[in-house]
Amino acid sequence: MNEIIKKITYIIPDKLYSSLKYRIKMKKWINWKNPETFNEKIQWLKLNDRNPLYTKLVDKYEVKDYVSNIIGEKYIIPTLGIYDKFDDIDFTKLPEQFVIKCTHDSGGLVICKDKSSFNIENAKEKINKSLKRNYYYGNREWPYKNVKPRILIEKYMEDKKDKELRDYKFYCFDGYVKALLVATNRQSKNEELCFDYFDSEYKHLELTNHYHPNNKNIPHKPVKFAEMLKLSEKLSKGFPHVRVDFYEVNGEIYFGELTFYDMGGLLKIHPDDWDLEWGKLIKLPKKDD
């Protein structure tokens, strides 16, 4: 039955699918004719802003070259290998620590902190399952539809102070940074993943993500916050909206990814007045007839 339902959802047109999912998740209908909120405009952009460059920019391997050309190679996490099939990986040539991820989705990730105890079969099962998945169908984020599924292996990164790879996600609007999301405890098995929001001066905002709570201890300001901010402005220039992600590892900045449709346009933050406030910052391009 689940496979039948899945096949039916695959043939539903993007606009109808997005309308129905938005209604279910957000408890209201999208105003397609005059979108005003952040989430409504993200939905509109998915249907109408079809810049072919986006397909390259959501590819976790291909985007590295693009970003390197704009801000410099020193911000790129070193690549240890790129593969079409899991069985092509020669683990004897990998270091003791590394990260395996799929280039075409979100969640296809395996972290190896100790190769001597690394379960290759479990990793293979997870990665191969992700390789078969077309990420586009979940929220109809069209750039992912034609990304070639591959396996990317990167250098393992961990900050000595925070004991994790902490995410710094900048919400950008054509070169203007409105807010920053700091994700903590992402790799912890004992602590809950937390999301905290800050403004461009690193003032903690009274916003709470629907899916993840604020951290009881406000995350400290990254050492190179000002540099991250400038890099985010530079990378986001020319895009109506994009989330630019960075990591700070032992005082050095590394690029994470570019996200054009945060939470698929189903982002819930309380109180909800942020939705209209951020929405005003998205200048929609003219729709091609």
* Domain boundary assignment for the chain: 31-71+158-289, 78-156
> How many other β-carbons are positioned within 10 Å of the β-carbon of residue 46?
21
Q: Burial-class residue 258 by CB neighbours within 10 Å (0-12, 13-18, 19+).
A: buried
Which residues have a Cβ under 8 Å from the Cβ of 109 and sit 6 or more positions away?
Answer: 99, 100, 101, 102
Among candidate residues 155, 77, 66, 144, the one with its CA nearest the CA of residue 105:
144
> How many other β-carbons are positioned within 10 Å of the β-carbon of residue 69?
9
Q: Which letter does DSSP use for residue 117 in this model?
A: G
Taking only the tens of pLDDT, the chain with its 289 residues reads 466 667 777 889 999 999 999 999 999 999 999 999 999 999 999 999 999 999 999 999 999 999 999 999 999 999 999 999 999 999 999 999 999 999 999 989 999 999 999 999 999 999 999 999 999 999 999 999 999 999 999 999 998 888 888 889 999 999 999 999 999 988 777 789 999 999 999 999 999 999 999 999 999 999 999 999 999 999 999 999 999 999 999 999 999 999 999 999 999 999 999 999 999 999 999 875 4
pLDDT in tens, 244-257: 999 999 999 999 99
Residue 250, CA distances (Å) to 166, 183, 236, 277 in order: 11, 17, 25, 35
Which residues have a Cβ under 8 Å from the Cβ of 232 and sit 6 or more positions away?
Answer: 170, 172, 177, 244, 246
**CA dist., res. 35 & res. 226, Å (int):** 33
**CA dist., res. 161 & res. 261, Å (int):** 31
Check if the beta carbon of residue 71 is closer than 8 Å to that of residue 254. Answer: no
pLDDT the model gives residue 1: 45
Among candidate residues 124, 122, 146, the one with its CA nearest the CA of residue 58:
146
pLDDT the model gives residue 162: 85
Assigned CATH topology for domain 31-71+158-289: D-amino Acid Aminotransferase; Chain A, domain 1 (3.30.470)
